[in-house]
Amino acid sequence: MGPWSRVRAAKCQMLVTSFFVLLLGLSMATLAALTYFGAHFAVIGRASSDRTPYEAMHRWAFYVGISLAGLLTLGAILGAAATGFLCFALVFGALVQVAFWRFHNPTQVEDALLDAYDLVYDRAVKNLSGTPRQQLVAIQDTFLCCGKSSPFSLLGDVEAGLCRGEQAARQDCLVGIRSFLRTHRNIASTLTGIGLAAMVYAMLLSSFLWFAIRSGGSLDRKGKYTLSRRVPGCQPQEPSFFRRSQGSPKL
């Protein structure tokens, strides 16, 4: 396979990779939108105050997801012209940071969400007829759960009154929230892993194409020679070696 055949093959692979990166960016944007505007996260966000760790983490996850989606989309557009290396490198660095943070803080998101639910639950137990009660009911209807199991609860009768009838057959809300977060975490981890692999491959392709384009002139001239047009009235000059040989005295 010649040099330009390899370059053409790399260009085709870059186009396919750019399309895949574009789909990955759309997936990231969808996940970020569902994380911020989805019913499960939004219902707890409306019930919790702005000063809770959950709200800060909620906004942080949304902004990071949207930023990654924007960089992926820009990289896919520039990658089609073999100029998206910088965007791919930025996304790779950001995904490495996300994976590192996720590895060292595996339960931080879950703890923040459960703490927000506990806060709403405690307010509802103390005020059964006010807004906290309505917020708790909204959370339980969204997660299809009711109440929570706590061996240290001192308000057993009041808590038992929160789940009556068909609601009593629902699962524990702590279990339901953990199950939902596990599914969401698996999707996010899958996208992160795919993104890391795709960014490495895209950076290698874009680097190869960039160097191939810079050395494209020499590759194009390799093995080709250009004959200059002869000017009328001009005699072709012989090489200097032959001119010196003819001018030397004979022995």
Which tens digits make up the pLDDT trace of 108-154? 888 989 988 988 888 888 876 678 888 888 898 889 888 777 555 44
| Summary mean pLDDT of the chain | 79
This prediction has a pTM of 0.75
Q: Which residues neighbour 147 within 8 Å (Cβ) at sequence distance 6 or greater?
A: 121, 140, 159, 160, 162, 163, 172, 173
Q: What is the pLDDT of residue 241?
A: 44
Query: CA 243, CA 145: separation in Å to the nearest integer?
Result: 102
Structural Rg of the chain based on CA atoms: 33
pLDDT for 231 beyond 50: yes
Q: What is the pLDDT of residue 181?
A: 92
Q: How many CA within 13 A on the CB side of residue 26?
A: 7
**What does the angle CA 75 – CA 190 – CA 194 come to, to the nearest 5 degrees?**
35
Query: CA 218, CA 4: separation in Å to the nearest integer?
Result: 11
Q: What is the pLDDT of residue 85?
A: 86
Given the structure tokens 């996940």, which residue do they identify? 31
Greater confidence, 168 or 215?
A: 215
For 10-61, how does the pLDDT look when each residue is reduced to its tens digit (9 = 90+)? Answer: 788 888 988 999 999 999 999 999 999 999 998 988 887 667 788 888 889 8
Query: CA 120, CA 114: separation in Å to the nearest integer?
Result: 10
Asked whether the beta carbons of 80 and 18 are under 8 A apart, the reply is yes
Burial class (CB in 10 A: 0-12, 13-18, 19+), 247: exposed
Query: CA 184, CA 195: separation in Å to the nearest integer?
Result: 17
Of 184, 179, 173, nearest in space to 65 by CA: 184
Query: CA 61, CA 35: separation in Å to the nearest integer?
Result: 8
Query: CA 119, CA 55: separation in Å to the nearest integer?
Result: 13
Helix locations, 144-239, DSSP H: 156-160, 173-214, 216-221
